[in-house]
Amino acid sequence: MRASIFILALPLLMTASAYGYFGGEVYYKWWKNPKIAEEMNLTQEQANEIEGIFTSYKEEIIVHQKELRLRESELLSKLKEPQCTREEVMHMTDDIENVKAALTRIKVDMFLKIKNVLTPEQEESLHNIRARYKERKLKEMREQMGLQQGETVQ
């Protein structure tokens, strides 16, 4: 039972780690990248305002990310214990999901404030830039795994 819970939990934790790895790009200061700023026609005033928004959320995001990593680590440790119970594991899983939800709310709130700084055209441009980045990363992952377009891991 303990092993099967561990096997089920591991992909969830790895997904969270992968999200953190690729999602970390969200915190990349894209508004300071000259190519992106130029493509979006971002003004220096807008960049300064976005920087202020980012700075106001940064510490809170870091605190929640650390809390999430800690709780995931505690869950993995608990799953290794011979006497761990389903109830303990499920309670810890609920705690992890609550931290993830809080982190998501913070990120969305930050995004909405940044979105208010951008014009509709700039927002669309940023969406296109992110879509290109995501597609490039997916292509790189497929190439690393030796997959062709449309193939999936079995």
DSSP state of 81: S
The model's confidence at residue 144, banded by pLDDT at 50, 70 and 90, is confident
Per CATH, domain 2-135 is 1.20.120? yes
Domain ranges of the chain: 2-135
84: Cα within 13 Å, side-chain hemisphere = 21
Report the share of the chain in percent with pLDDT over 90: 71
Asked whether 105 and 38 are in contact (CB, 8 A), the reply is no
Give the CA dihedral 10, 110, 62, 25, nearest 10 degrees: 60
The string of pLDDT tens digits covering residues 26-85 is 447 999 999 999 999 999 999 999 999 999 999 999 999 999 999 999 999 999 999 999
> Is residue 122 a contact partner of residue 30, using CB atoms and an 8 Å limit?
no
What confidence category does residue 151 fall into, taking pLDDT thresholds of 50, 70 and 90? low
